[in-house]
Amino acid sequence: MNLDGSNQAAPWVDGLTLDQVLRATAARRPDADAVVFPALGLRWSWRDFDAEVERIARGLSTLGVAPGEHLGVWSMNVPEWLVVQFAAARLAAVLVNVNPAYRLHELEAALALADVTTLFIGEPFKTSDFNEMIGRLCPEAAASAATADWSCARLPKLKRLVTFSPEPSDGRVGWAQLRAAADRNPTAAAAELAQRAHKASHHDVFNIQFTSGTTGLPKGAMLTHRNVVMNAYYVGQRLRYTGDDRVCIPVPFYHCFGCVLGNAVCAVYGATIVVPAPRFEPEPTLAAVHKERCTAIYGVPTMFVAELECPNRAQYDLTSLRTGIMSGAPCPLPLMNEVMNTLAVPEITIGYGQTEASPIITLTDVDDPVEIRVGTVGRPLPGLEVGIQALDTGLEAAPGEPGELWTRGHGVMAGYYRNANATATAIDSYGRLFTGDLAVRRPDGCYRIVGRRKELIIRGGENIHPAEVEEFLHHHPDVSEVAVVGMPDAVYGEVVSAWIVTKPNANLNPNSIKDFCRGQIAHYKVPTYVEVIDELPRTVTGKVTKHVLRARGIELYHLGDVAATPTA
């Protein structure tokens, strides 16, 4: 069996849990770099990393964490987050990713929804003091002596708080105490972990990740070990990863982009995980590529824009870069050319997916021409079936006809946790996951995303896909970023609005944008409203929250009465 991840009919990871993948990689590449945090001076080999995972898993087992328990992580990108991810797999527990941007109301809802029993809490970062906030949510723990028994009135299923701070003085367990617990009876704890590994199945749920909630309330998508490792395998295969690759991961661990496409992919291929900073910053990212000779880099388009505009970019040698993934939003042609040439990433790929699909559904190839990389989201990963359902008939769409993209195969989640109705809405009786995205399949087998089903703008009966207008506006020399959103209109039902972030030192006015559009795109696609803003509102994963822009526009243009009027 070939363990280096090369092209093969049966992936070596199929049938394995994420823990078994880590053990195999640590056995075949014990001395190679596994994890590097350059700013912290931390460097673990795969042997070191596996040993740290084992120790933390032993400590958690000693503290009473049982198989199947839900372990939440609420922190920025730090080494402990990475250890907990793989320790959860070794414990046969379920990892619950908690957005570090959450505040108390959101945190309480997420922990309750996912039945979290143990919460790992990061150290304070800028305006986010995680320990202080959890103290307000669970004052019972804050009032207890160190490691004393307590119960949280607002979250009765929460049993333990484990802080990444070394020595807490209240009812929380410190990271140092957790490591010490691992040494109380290491032989018995190791035997317990071995028994769990023997009983674990690759079909077990390993991870609960919350959907972004840009429309509706967040839901907990349940990903199995097989979901994660198969997606990781095929993504790494398409990027042509080997153990010699060093992957710069500035995207958040709490999201699939970081914990699956980053951490899990590297574990499958024995590549090196390089983490520049707790949260994305352009200069530390460039510095990490320079210092660690990274061969791959990840990010959403805005991250690449920030790196290109970094004042000190020229002082960093980026020539080691070869490939990477840009995802989360469409990439306009000018940005793609700059990433390939100025940042020297000639084999950058474009990925499309969603949390419910573990996450990648389609991905371009490293040697695809630029036209495919900016004009499409590539082809389906092996083992995934993809189709397009016509919006009017519910049948498969004709070639070139837009419809809702669906997928079936190893990437489809096990369902939404404790939400059978939402699961049944997303996944039909044939196992097809409906994405809510509108797409077109081209003759070459590549897919083009033309918008969200709910973002579709219908102006006087004409369908307008925001992505098409956004792509056109990106060619304006003063436009850095743009989001197109439908606004309510008394005559047409909806009209187009464009929200624009300009390039540095640009002097752009709304009329110039309308003049730029006239005669170049259909008249009904020309924006009725144009606003120049400092930045687009986004989730922490880079998705533009268009509902925020729509609400802002309704208030700004005094469209409340129109918005409240039902349309036919």
Q: Which string of DSSP letters, residue by residue, matches 113-167?
A: HTT-SEEEEPPPBTTB-HHHHHHHH-HHHHTSPTT-----SS-TT--EEEESSS-
Residue 240 DSSP code: T
**CA of residue 328 relative to chain centroid, distance:** 8
Are 452 and 438 in contact by the 8 Å Cβ rule? The answer is yes
In a domain, 429, yes or no: no
In a domain, 379, yes or no: no
In a domain, 470, yes or no: yes
Checking if the pLDDT of 222 tops 50, the result is: yes
- Burial readout 90-117 (b: 16 or more C-beta within 10 A, e: otherwise): bbbbbbbbbbbebeeeebbebbebbbbb
Are 481 and 501 in contact by the 8 Å Cβ rule? The answer is yes
Range of the domain at 165: 25-32+48-209
Domain boundary among 209, 224, 259: 209
DSSP, residue by residue, 310-325: -TTGGGS--TT--EEE
In a domain, 11, yes or no: no
| 3-class secondary-structure state, position 179 | helix
Contacts of 22 (CB under 8 A, 6+ apart): 49, 50, 53, 86, 89, 90, 267
Backbone angles phi, psi at 59, to 5 degrees: -60, -45
In a domain, 77, yes or no: yes
- Give per-residue pLDDT as tens, 537-551: 987 667 888 889 999
In a domain, 313, yes or no: no
In a domain, 4, yes or no: no
* Secondary-structure percent of the chain, ordered helix, strand, coil, rounded to 5: 35, 25, 40
Nearest CA among 474, 483, 454 for reference residue 543: 483
> What pLDDT, on a 0 to 100 scale, did the predictor assign at position 429?
96
Q: Residue holding tokens 């957790």?
A: 178
**CA of residue 70 relative to chain centroid, distance:** 20
Q: How far apart are CA 400 and CA 440, in angstroms?
A: 6
Q: 354 pLDDT band (50/70/90 cuts)?
A: very high
- Give per-residue pLDDT as tens, 486-511: 999 888 889 999 999 999 989 899 99
Q: 564 pLDDT band (50/70/90 cuts)?
A: low
Helices within 200-251 (DSSP H only): 225-238
- Average pLDDT value for residue range 444-458: 85
Structure tokens at 347: 């084999």
Checking if the pLDDT of 368 tops 50, the result is: yes
Checking if the pLDDT of 566 tops 70, the result is: no
Cis amide bond preceding 359, omega within 30: yes
**What is the side-by-side strand order in the sheet with 447-452?**
384-390, 403-409, 433-441, 447-452
Cα atoms in the Cβ-side hemisphere of radius 13 Å centred on 548: 12
Domain boundary among 209, 239, 255: 209
- Average pLDDT value for residue range 361-370: 97
Q: How far apart are CA 247 and CA 232, in angstroms?
A: 13
Cα angle 500, 501, 504; round to 5: 140
**What is the side-by-side strand order in the sheet with 323-326?**
42-45, 33-37, 272-274, 246-248, 296-299, 323-326, 347-353, 360-363, 379-380
- Average pLDDT value for residue range 307-322: 97
Q: Residue holding tokens 């530390």?
A: 284
- Average pLDDT value for residue range 323-329: 89
Q: 147 pLDDT band (50/70/90 cuts)?
A: low
> What pLDDT, on a 0 to 100 scale, did the predictor assign at position 453?
75
For CA atoms 334, 336, 340, 346, give the dihedral sign: negative
Question: Which CATH number goes with the domain that contains 161?
Answer: 3.40.50.12780
Q: Which amino acid is at 255?
A: H
Question: Which CATH number goes with the domain that contains 473?
Answer: 3.30.300.30
- Alpha carbon dihedral 531, 534, 538, 542, in 10-degree steps, equals 110
- Average pLDDT value for residue range 386-394: 90
Are 123 and 174 in contact by the 8 Å Cβ rule? The answer is no
Across the chain, mean pLDDT equals 91
Domain boundary among 209, 240, 261: 209
Are 310 and 283 in contact by the 8 Å Cβ rule? The answer is yes
Are 93 and 85 in contact by the 8 Å Cβ rule? The answer is no
Number of domain units in the chain: 2
> What pLDDT, on a 0 to 100 scale, did the predictor assign at position 166?
76
- Give per-residue pLDDT as tens, 122-145: 998 887 889 888 989 999 887 776
Checking if the pLDDT of 1 tops 50, the result is: no
Checking if the pLDDT of 388 tops 60, the result is: yes
In a domain, 199, yes or no: yes
Q: How far apart are CA 88 and CA 116, in angstroms?
A: 13
Q: 14 pLDDT band (50/70/90 cuts)?
A: very high
DSSP, residue by residue, 262-328: IIIHHHHHTPEEE---SS--HHHHHHHHHHHT-SEEEE-HHHHHHHHT-TTGGGS--TT--EEEE-S
- Give per-residue pLDDT as tens, 37-86: 999 999 999 999 999 999 999 999 999 999 999 999 999 999 999 999 99
DSSP, residue by residue, 394-423: SSBPPTT--EEEEEEETTS-SEETT-HHHH
